[in-house]
């Protein structure tokens, strides 16, 4: 089942918004003109990523400073799991997730 998150026309560089879908907190970002959907949870210690800073394709957790490469999800300065990136789905002029 497709769950719409946003209209494509609204996805400009720097876009950031959280959603709750099926009991999961998700974070939708636009980085280098590409939408990226993540679990809104840092794999290091579970802090929300909604307040993380973004420099290019590097997302830095606001709680402990762990940095992740958004393109691959891998941590850059810590030993922890990669980000949980989720596949995006499209339906007409909307972007979302299949659940």
Q: Is residue 28 part of a domain?
A: yes
Count of domains observed in the chain: 1
Q: How far apart are CA 35 and CA 22, in angstroms?
A: 20
Other beta carbons less than 10 A from residue 5's beta carbon: 20
Q: Can you read off the two tokens belonging to residue 19?
A: 């959603």
Decide if 32 is inside a domain: yes
Specify if 97 maps to a domain. no
Question: Does residue 47 fall inside a structural domain?
Answer: yes
8 Å CB contact between 48 and 16: no
Range of the structural domain that residue 72 is part of? 2-90
For tokens 């209209």, the residue is: 7
User: Is 13 within the bounds of a domain?
Assistant: yes
Does any domain span residue 85?
yes
pLDDT per 10-residue tile (average), the chain, 99 residues: 98 96 96 95 93 95 95 93 96 97
Which residues face 63 on adjacent strands?
none
C-alpha to C-alpha distance for 99 and 51, rounded to whole angstroms: 26
CATH number of the domain at 84, please. Answer: 2.102.10.10
The per-residue pLDDT for 49 is: 96
């Amino acid at each position: 089942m497709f769950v719409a998150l946003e209209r494509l026309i609204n996805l400009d560089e720097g876009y950031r918004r959280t959603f709750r879908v099926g009991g999961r907190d998700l974070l939708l970002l636009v980085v280098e003109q590409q939408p990226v959907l993540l679990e809104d949870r840092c794999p290091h210690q579970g802090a929300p990523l909604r307040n993380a800073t973004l420099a290019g394709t590097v997302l830095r957790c606001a709680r402990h400073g762990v940095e992740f490469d958004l393109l691959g999800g891998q941590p850059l300065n810590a030993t922890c799991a990669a980000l949980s990136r989720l596949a995006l789905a499209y339906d007409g002029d909307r972007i979302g997730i299949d659940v």
